[in-house]
Amino acid sequence: MEIQEKEQPIDNAAYLNMDLLRFTTAGSVDDGKSTLIGRLLYDTKSIFEDQMEAIEEASTKKGKGYVDLSLLTDGLRAEREQGITIDVAYRYFATPKRKFIIADTPGHIQYTRNMVTGASTANLAIILVDARHGVIEQTCRHSFIASLLQIKHLVVCVNKMDLVSFSEEVFQKIKTDFENFSATLNIPDIQYIPISALLGDNVVEHSANTPWYKGASLLYTLENVHIANDRNHEDARFPVQYVIRPQTEDFHDYRGYAGTVESGIFKPGDDIVALPSGFKSKIKTIDFNGKHLDIVHPPKSVTFTIEDNIDISRGDMIVKENNQPQVSQDVELMVCWLSDKKLTLNGKYAIKHTTREARCVIKEIKYKVNINTLEEIKDNFEIGLNDIARIVIRTTTPLFFDSYSKNRATGSLIIVDEGTNVTVGAGMII
């Protein structure tokens, strides 16, 4: 493989105008995930000469007759030695249209945990299917996790098409099988692409080997999928992160509420309510770096000042008077368990929800999900690593939340073990 020279000088104006797509990749071991990511990085010229030399050397050492692109994404030394990957790794590449962040979640025992982590920030998920094996249990599992995490766009890549002679029948059968089973999942946009990650067919360019395929290449799909409307622009939510009080001469009485607009839109003059106090006021200014903004969209980090001198602190939430979240201490959620230490019914945990911290007790386990069949298991309430369950918690202070399906930011929380401080659960509020 030749080292590619990047000849195109970069266009700064265009670069500063690019938008961002975060995606995750899922597939079982050997479906070709590493090869596909390596291929995307290679074909978008995101690989440097020294990295290329390192993998050429490593390929030779392993006795491979070709440069193994999958080695590019291979991680920590312990894993290299054991030949496994155990965690989420992040990769980056850009085309003139978009910048991409890949949450690379290699398949293994801890797979559910890893995929949930990677999917939590993703706009899109690529599901890899080996053309020779078709839709298997893992495919269903990965798609279920993607839908659970409310990923709006799924791209099913039927890989290793070169090993099935680029057969249209094989592709169509897999597509139909997937359509049948995914009808029960709540994923609005699913696309299917026949590819060969190893040889590059339909990855960047439409391949001559699949004249029957009329759709776009994978990269084109990634560059053009419409994500602007995936964000919640309706429900204005501003969790207060930090109170800014300069107490300097110039800003003697300045009191600013710093945070990120998680959803909805805010403008100066908006009628707002601060939760939990319920005090009403108006937004006076929206400050950012010495400027006053006239409107702010998610996910921008800004600072609000408000008209009245009311008491607001970290963990409070500023919302609009005419559109308020639910407020409750009893919360029902789907939880993915991330720890070897099992969830204990009636156990007490710490939680983090938006910028708010609280403690909670696990009141009830409603059911556990068989993530391969999506059946509800009601006779075994043991929730361990990688299990997904529906539970009810009661919190020490009220949370201000929306359902996860309406609002990722105000519908998600993490559960923390109070003894070890480790994050043990990921919750999605129903």
Partner 1 sequence: MVSESKHNLTHLDQLESEAIFIMREVAAQFEKPVLLFSGGKDSICLVKLAQKAFWPAKIPFPLMHIDTGHNFPEAIEYRDWLVKEVGANLIVRYVQDSIDKGTATEEKGPNPSRNTLQTVTLLESIEEFKFDACFGGARRDEEKARAKERFFSHRDEFGQWDPKNQRPELWNLFNGKKQKGENFRVFPISNWTEMDVWQYIYKENIPLPTIYFTHRRDVVFRDNMWLANSPHITLMKGEEIQNKIVRFRTVGDMTCTGAVESTASTLEDIIQEVASARVTERGSRADDRRSEAAMEDRKKQGYF
Chain residues in the site for ligand GDP (CB under 6 A): 27, 29-35, 70, 159-160, 162-163, 196-198
Where residue 417 falls (left for φ over 0; alpha for ψ -120 to 50; beta otherwise) is beta
Q: Tell the smallest beta-carbon distance from residue 39 to ligand GDP (Å).
A: 8
- Specify whether the CB–CB gap between 344 and 293 falls below 8 A: no
Q: Tell the smallest beta-carbon distance from residue 196 to ligand GDP (Å).
A: 4
Q: Tell the smallest beta-carbon distance from residue 108 to ligand GDP (Å).
A: 9
In the list ligand GDP, partner 1, none, the entry touching 2 (Cβ below 5 to 8 angstroms by class) is none
Q: Tell the smallest beta-carbon distance from residue 317 to partner 1 (Å).
A: 15
> Phi then psi for 383, rounded to 5 degrees?
-110, 105
Quick one: 70 or 112, whose CB is closer to ligand GDP? 70
Q: Tell the smallest beta-carbon distance from residue 53 to ligand GDP (Å).
A: 20
Q: Tell the smallest beta-carbon distance from residue 13 to ligand GDP (Å).
A: 37
Integer CA distances (angstroms), 24 to 21, 51, 96, in order: 10, 23, 21
Where residue 203 falls (left for φ over 0; alpha for ψ -120 to 50; beta otherwise) is alpha
Quick one: 132 or 245, whose CB is closer to partner 1? 245
Quick one: 145 or 415, whose CB is closer to ligand GDP? 145
Quick one: 212 or 242, whose CB is closer to partner 1? 242
- Specify whether the CB–CB gap between 187 and 143 falls below 8 A: yes
Q: Tell the smallest beta-carbon distance from residue 223 to partner 1 (Å).
A: 13
The DSSP bridge partners found for residue 405 are none
In the list partner 1, ligand GDP, none, the entry touching 159 (Cβ below 5 to 8 angstroms by class) is ligand GDP
Q: How far is CA 208 from the centre of its chain?
A: 33
Quick one: 108 or 280, whose CB is closer to ligand GDP? 108
In the list ligand GDP, partner 1, none, the entry touching 311 (Cβ below 5 to 8 angstroms by class) is none
Other Cβ atoms within 10 Å of 345 Cβ, number: 14
In the list ligand GDP, partner 1, none, the entry touching 31 (Cβ below 5 to 8 angstroms by class) is ligand GDP
Q: Tell the smallest beta-carbon distance from residue 162 to ligand GDP (Å).
A: 5
In the list partner 1, ligand GDP, none, the entry touching 33 (Cβ below 5 to 8 angstroms by class) is ligand GDP
In the list ligand GDP, partner 1, none, the entry touching 259 (Cβ below 5 to 8 angstroms by class) is partner 1
Our CA dihedral for 149, 150, 153, 157, rounded to 10 degrees, sits at 30
Q: Tell the smallest beta-carbon distance from residue 65 to ligand GDP (Å).
A: 11
Quick one: 175 or 255, whose CB is closer to partner 1? 255
Other Cβ atoms within 10 Å of 421 Cβ, number: 9
252 vs 187: CA distance, rounded Å: 51
Quick one: 297 or 348, whose CB is closer to partner 1? 297
Quick one: 116 or 193, whose CB is closer to partner 1? 116
Q: How far is CA 353 from the centre of its chain?
A: 17
| Strand blocks (E) in 131-249 | 153-159, 189-194, 237-244
Quick one: 167 or 324, whose CB is closer to ligand GDP? 167
In the list ligand GDP, partner 1, none, the entry touching 299 (Cβ below 5 to 8 angstroms by class) is partner 1
Contacts of 233 (CB under 8 A, 6+ apart): 263, 264, 265, 297, 298
Quick one: 69 or 331, whose CB is closer to ligand GDP? 69
Contacts of 428 (CB under 8 A, 6+ apart): 148, 149, 150, 333, 334, 335, 404, 411, 412
In the list ligand GDP, partner 1, none, the entry touching 246 (Cβ below 5 to 8 angstroms by class) is partner 1
Residue number of the CB atom closest to ligand GDP: 32
In the list ligand GDP, partner 1, none, the entry touching 187 (Cβ below 5 to 8 angstroms by class) is none
Contacts of 82 (CB under 8 A, 6+ apart): none
> 390 in helix, strand or coil?
strand
| Omega within 30 of 0 (cis) for the link into 299 | yes
358 vs 371: CA distance, rounded Å: 29
In the list partner 1, ligand GDP, none, the entry touching 88 (Cβ below 5 to 8 angstroms by class) is partner 1
Q: Tell the smallest beta-carbon distance from residue 238 to partner 1 (Å).
A: 12
Query: Burial of 214 by CB count in 10 Å (0-12 exposed, 13-18 middle, 19+ buried)?
Result: exposed
